[in-house]
């Protein structure tokens, strides 16, 4: 079993720069939802119902905003309900945004390396896991898509391609 772990640890990896360029463009320049890349900054709170100004999501900014006192309780109640929905949506997507940001940052850092290696560990059931978090061949689809073998070999016959696909 240790030969298997050592063989995995001897496998050289590299960041696929073409995929990294696409991911970077989607992360920086789109509103999310494309190819599983989430929104970078989350949804904005609805504007102030009284003056129409943008209100940051921080609690201090909401408290200091002069219009959000009790001068128009019906408008304020509706705005708070809408803002709560937006904050809930942002919190639900927070972990996905954080994971994407970390994978993207690690991929950018390792993109200049011609090759790198992952350490693996074996658990008591005989399962093998990559030790690092985020950018690993066993990670989320984004991480797997950003990695490629540093020393690729031709696929050979269609039978070899079939077995690779399995």
Express each pLDDT in 81-102 by its tens digit.
Answer: 888 898 898 888 888 999 999 9
Using CA atoms, how far apart are residues 37 and 97, in angstroms rounded to an integer? 8
- H helix or E strand, kind and range, residue 149: strand 147-149
Handedness of CA 71, 77, 82, 83 (dihedral sign): positive
Of the pLDDT bands very low, low, confident and very high (cuts 50, 70, 90), residue 63 is low
Q: What is the mean pLDDT of residues 11-28?
A: 94
pLDDT at 52: 67
Confidence of residue 164 (pLDDT cuts 50, 70, 90): confident
Distance CA 60, CA 77 (A): 18
Q: How confident is the model at residue 59 (pLDDT cuts 50, 70, 90)?
A: low
On whether the pTM is more than 0.85, the answer is no
Which one is predicted more confidently, 56 or 136? Answer: 136
Cβ contact 137:146 at 8 Å: no
Residue 60, phi then psi, degrees to nearest 5: -60, -40
**Angular region, 121: left φ>0, alpha ψ -120 to 50, beta rest:** beta
Q: What is the mean pLDDT of the chain?
A: 85
| Domain ranges (residues) in the chain | 2-165
pLDDT of residue 39: 82
Of 110-119, 120-129, 153-162, the one with minimum mean pLDDT is 153-162
């Amino acid at each position: 079993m240790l030969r298997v772990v050592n063989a995995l640890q001897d496998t050289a990896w590299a960041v696929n720069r073409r995929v990294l360029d696409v991911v970077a463009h989607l992360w920086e320049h789109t509103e999310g939802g494309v190819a599983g890349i989430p929104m970078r900054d989350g949804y904005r709170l609805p504007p102030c119902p009284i003056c129409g100004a943008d209100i940051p999501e921080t609690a201090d900014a909401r408290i200091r905003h002069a219009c959000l006192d009790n001068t128009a309780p019906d408008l304020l109640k509706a705005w708070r309900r809408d803002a709560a929905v937006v904050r809930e949506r942002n919190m639900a997507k927070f972990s996905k945004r954080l994971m994407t940001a970390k994978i993207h940052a690690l991929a950018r850092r390792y993109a200049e390396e011609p090759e790198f290696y992952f350490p693996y560990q074996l658990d008591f059931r005989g399962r093998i896991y990559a030790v690092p978090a985020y950018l690993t061949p066993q990670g989320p689809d984004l991480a797997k898509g950003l990695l490629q073998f540093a020393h690729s070999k031709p696929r050979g016959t269609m039978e070899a391609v079939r077995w690779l696909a399995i």
